[in-house]
Amino acid sequence: MTAKLNALPYEWLEEIINLAAEWIVVVDVNGIICYINQAYCEFLGTTIEEAVGKPVGNVIENSRMHVVVRTGQAEVASIQSIKGSEMVANRYPLYVQGELVGAVGTVMFRNAQDWLEYSQKVQPLVEELKYYKTRFERELRGKYRFSDLIGQSPRFLEAKHLAERVSGSQSAVLLLGESGTGKELFAHAIHNNSVRSPFPFVRVNCASIPEHLLESELFGYEEGAFTGAKRGGKKGKFELAHRGTLFLDEVGDMPLPMQSKLLRALQEKEIERIGGHAPVLVDVRIIAATHRNLEQMVEEGRFRQDLYYRLNVMKIEIPPLRERKADIGPISRVLLEKLGRKFNRHGIMLAGDVVQQLQQHNWPGNIRELENVLERAVNVLEGPVIGLHHLPLYLQDDMAVAHREHRPPVSCTQKNPALLPLKDAVAAAEREAIMLALQFAQGNKVQAARLLGIGKTSLYDKCKLYGID
């Protein structure tokens, strides 16, 4: 480096310094100016020849360069008034081979106009960074508390009270329950009720991330680890959740190779990024959730037994909605308040016969399906009260079937009021076929679509139409 600098003519070095955005002054250990650039001299109303060799305080107003030389302490971003202008000055002690030989000072913003122009360029970037930082921090926080878990049925209260008791522990928690029962809400509440609540709550849906990307999502990667890797690398979910909670949703869908790597991370309390060479220590609490029967999967060799026991320290089973139908009314009121805020329509209520009708349904999609039904009703609602005619057709089908089961048979010549229009009967049959296919395929929508002989996209559309998760 020295040889390269020596190769540059002195005039070049001087011009480079003069072209720099900052004004520069250098003093020796006695505070005598050894060097000052032309731009600084022009502002001060002097020349290089007049300034060099003089005490810095005699040339630069309010200078503290002699103080920095005496203390050996840098002064960064200091406000200095020179000739009636407030400037931002940086002053650094100058060490050569460990010996203090002087100090160097620079002026970043020579006047208010310079600062204003700089601020106008930088401020939008600062605001954008602040926005993404706030959004990132908000997404890494638990959203729900135990007060948000609504219900008074015995099995639900038992699960809720157990979750409250284990929230103060550091042990792993395994949440079991059908899709839509509120497993993620339980995970949020456990985190927010724990000593880890000030730290991140990081969620990973093991079923939604492709197998070849899951490792990098969990453990991160180093720069250049593979084609397309971000510059500087990327932290994985384990690192993001350090000192907080990592929620592994649908852990039963995790591929076997990843189960082995997850087990090692849990046992060793360290991870290794893809392309990395050194382990990274992590302190996370694991909350896992699944709608699958993990014990059966262990017997079939589709889930590691040692990982199952590592996750199954505290098991909490959340009952499906069909086993807590008395809670449908209170849950519906809370969901309607939420939908009212979303659509800016407050004061929406359910008619009494609607609550009774909702309690007759089996709710295969659980609370998620109930919310879907209520949102559909709010969209078609004109007044403040949801009636039976606002419910989706398949719920009206349930009402018709119940009505038909409690009526005496009628002759073929009589008009049967329980008889459904053809399109409604087809819709009910279609929904039932989809539910059976999903049950047979254990929730795998790709396999269910194959069984039904339709495309995956078509199945997703129909599931959305019928409120099937």
Q: For the whole prediction, is pTM greater than 0.75? A: no
Q: Specify the pLDDT at position 405.
A: 44
CA–CA separation, 241 and 259 (whole Å): 19
Q: Specify the pLDDT at position 371.
A: 92
Residue 176: CB partners within 8 Å, gap ≥ 6? 183, 289, 290, 291, 294, 315, 316, 317, 318
Closest CA to 355 of 373, 380, 331, 329: 329
**Least reliable range by pLDDT among 92-101, 358-367, 380-389, 406-415:** 406-415
What is the CATH number assigned to the segment(s) 2-111? Answer: 3.30.450.20
Encoding tokens for residue 295?
A: 């014990």
282-326 residue pLDDT tens? 999 999 999 999 999 999 999 999 999 999 999 999 999 999 999
One DSSP character per residue, 354-409 reads HHHHHHHS--TTHHHHHHHHHHHHHHH--SSEE-GGGS-HHHHHHHHHHHHHTS--
Closest CA to 118 of 74, 91, 87, 85: 87
Residue 69: CB partners within 8 Å, gap ≥ 6? 27, 28, 29, 30, 31, 93, 100, 102, 103
CA–CA separation, 58 and 55 (whole Å): 6
Q: Are 65 and 89 in contact (CB under 8 A)?
A: no
CA–CA separation, 28 and 100 (whole Å): 9
The backbone torsions φ and ψ at residue 234, rounded to the nearest 5 degrees and listed phi first, read -150, 135
What number is the average pLDDT over the span 407-422? 48
184-243 residue pLDDT tens? 999 999 999 999 999 999 999 998 888 888 999 999 998 877 777 777 788 999 999 999
What number is the average pLDDT over the span 397-411? 48
Which residue type, as a one-letter code, is found at position 404? R
Q: Specify the pLDDT at position 410.
A: 44
CA–CA separation, 206 and 318 (whole Å): 20
Pairing mode, strands 75-82 and 23-28: unpaired
Q: Select from 1.20.120.330, 1.10.8.60, 1.10.260.40, 2.40.30.10 the CATH code of 325-466.
A: 1.10.8.60
Q: Are 198 and 242 in contact (CB under 8 A)?
A: no
Reported as half-sphere exposure (CB side, CA atoms, 13 A), residue 458 has a value of: 10
Taking the alpha carbons at both ends of the chain, their separation in whole angstroms is: 65
The full set of domain ranges for the chain reads 2-111, 146-319, 325-466
Q: Enumerate helices (H) and strands (E) in the chain, giving the number of each.
A: 21, 14
**Which carries the bigger pLDDT value, residue 38 or residue 469?**
38
Q: Are 101 and 28 in contact (CB under 8 A)?
A: yes
CA–CA separation, 89 and 75 (whole Å): 8
Would you say residue 248 has pLDDT above 60? yes
Q: Are 273 and 225 in contact (CB under 8 A)?
A: yes
Residue 12: CB partners within 8 Å, gap ≥ 6? none
What is the CATH number assigned to the segment(s) 146-319? Answer: 3.40.50.300
